[in-house]
Amino acid sequence: MISNIASTAVSRRQALAGLGMASIAATLAACGGGGNSGKTTITYLSWETEEVARPLIDAFEDANPDIAIDFSYSAPTAGYFQTLQTRIAGNQQPTVHRINPETKEKLIGEGLVADLTDEPFMGAIADANLRAYEDDGKIYGASFGAWAAGVVYNRDLLAQAGADDVPQAWDEFLDLCKQLKGAGVTPYRESVQDIPSMFQAFLGAGYDLAGDERGEKKIFTGESTFAEEWPEPMKQWYRLYDEGIVGAESVSLTGTQLKEDFIAGNLAMFITGPWDLADIAASDLNWGISPMPAAPGGEPFATGAPDPGFAISASAQGEELEAAKKFITFLASQEGLRLANEHIGTLVNTSDFTVEVAPEYQGLYDDYLKTSKIYLPMNYWDHASDALQLEGIALCQQLVQGQITVEQVAAGMDTKLASL
């Protein structure tokens, strides 16, 4: 039985670890020994728990009886990449593992992952997903899903200001917020424990309108600076504070608090994504979700990003490499994508597969997620994205507290980048 194969592999690994026989384990894996005798074994460090990932692995092994997957799991995100780093340092890099924007610099830069550019399974992948794992014209991660966040709104509260949904022009959105506030309704709140989503969408919309697929990547090639890219869209977002719609409490608010406030009927609008929609749908609210309004001269857009990609170790050769490619080919198949949506909740955005989503989310899925009209700055930061993200959050918090200006936020990012 396939499930027994995996169980045998885990038991063997645990036993050998207990005996300190790592070198013997490596030999057995290379030979496809033990319970996987006669099979080609690939190691897979999963982003999902075994309970969630098992249906895909079982289906793959059923379709490929000559291949066995040696499964292991580490929780995302920081723990996962710490585990991956440890295994790479110990010369035990998994055959297949995940790659994301925060790790691609190391994985690609140090030649640790294989070039997947010309593999047939890359053919239906969305443009945004290809760009996320591209370097110098080559693609190193196969990503089949994405997320998109938008403005969730309470239809009944908006009706108190005569609105049916979220205005798609920024000036009209600000006017609606003021009308709601005048009617005693809390119109809009956000958390500045991340770089504000509305600002991120303004950035993405601007690049999309200009046909610029590199986004902020050009800051890292020396062709631009944060001081050139950030101030104009940030000034538009900051009107929320300049015009008294929201206040410095945004610094301490969490996403959970915003969701709870919204579900309690105390908040007309906030920004969130698929992770909160089940809880909102379970409430009695009359609600909807909209893309971000368009800043002057721009277009509505969505904050969002491709899912982490599947990468193959650059050290995989021969039958192991071919088996890894077959595994990713299966994940990209109609059956693999269906299982990923059913068991993992992947919002598949390939050109050959469509998933069923909540009716309220359908417009965001069809018009933004599926068409790559999503943007997350960190996906375009070529290095030190973690440190830069923390700096960006700190600077935005100082801004909404009135301690610095928009220009000083942008200059601070350039200073931080220069120091890294």
Residue 35: band (very low, low, confident or very high) from pLDDT cuts 50, 70, 90:
low
Quick one: what percent of the chain has pLDDT higher than 70? 91
Q: Report how far apart, in Å, the C-alpha atoms of 173 and of each of 167, 192, 245, 291 are.
A: 5, 19, 11, 12
Is the pLDDT score of 178 beyond 80? yes
What are the two backbone dihedrals, phi and then psi, of residue 206, each rounded to the nearest 5 degrees? Answer: -65, -45
Mean pLDDT score, 44-56? 95
pLDDT, tens digit (0-9, with 9 covering 90-100), for 357-405: 999 999 999 999 999 999 999 888 988 888 899 999 999 999 999 999 9
Token reading at 7: 């169980």
Is the pLDDT score of 12 beyond 50? no
Amino acid code (one letter) for 352? D
Per-chain mean pLDDT for the chain: 90
Own/partner pairs for 46-51, CB < 8 Å, 24+ apart?
Answer: 46/71, 46/72, 46/73, 46/74, 47/76, 47/80, 47/98, 47/308, 48/73, 48/344, 49/73, 50/6
Lowest mean pLDDT among 144-153, 165-174, 209-218: 209-218
Q: Report how far apart, in Å, the C-alpha atoms of 80 and of each of 166, 175, 305, 411 are.
A: 38, 44, 19, 33
Of the candidates 25, 77, 119, 14, the one whose C-alpha atom is nearest the C-alpha of residue 85 is 77
Of the candidates 156, 150, 152, 151, the one whose C-alpha atom is nearest the C-alpha of residue 286 is 156
Position 8 scores a pLDDT of 30
Q: Are 42 and 327 in contact (CB under 8 A)?
A: yes
Is the pLDDT score of 34 beyond 60? no
Lowest mean pLDDT among 2-16, 71-85, 96-110, 175-189: 2-16
CA–CA distance, 98 with 87 (Å, rounded to integer) = 13
Of the candidates 392, 395, 413, the one whose C-alpha atom is nearest the C-alpha of residue 404 is 395
Amino acid code (one letter) for 330? F
pLDDT, tens digit (0-9, with 9 covering 90-100), for 310-362: 999 999 999 999 999 999 999 999 999 999 999 999 999 999 999 999 999 99
Position 79 scores a pLDDT of 86
Q: Are 155 and 286 in contact (CB under 8 A)?
A: yes
Token reading at 130: 């290809």
Q: Are 413 and 230 in contact (CB under 8 A)?
A: yes
Mean pLDDT score, 241-250? 96
The answer for 166, left when phi > 0, alpha when psi is -120 to 50, beta otherwise, is beta
CA–CA distance, 312 with 309 (Å, rounded to integer) = 10
Position 36 scores a pLDDT of 67
Residue 200: helix, strand or coil by DSSP?
helix
DSSP 302: E
Q: Are 372 and 127 in contact (CB under 8 A)?
A: yes
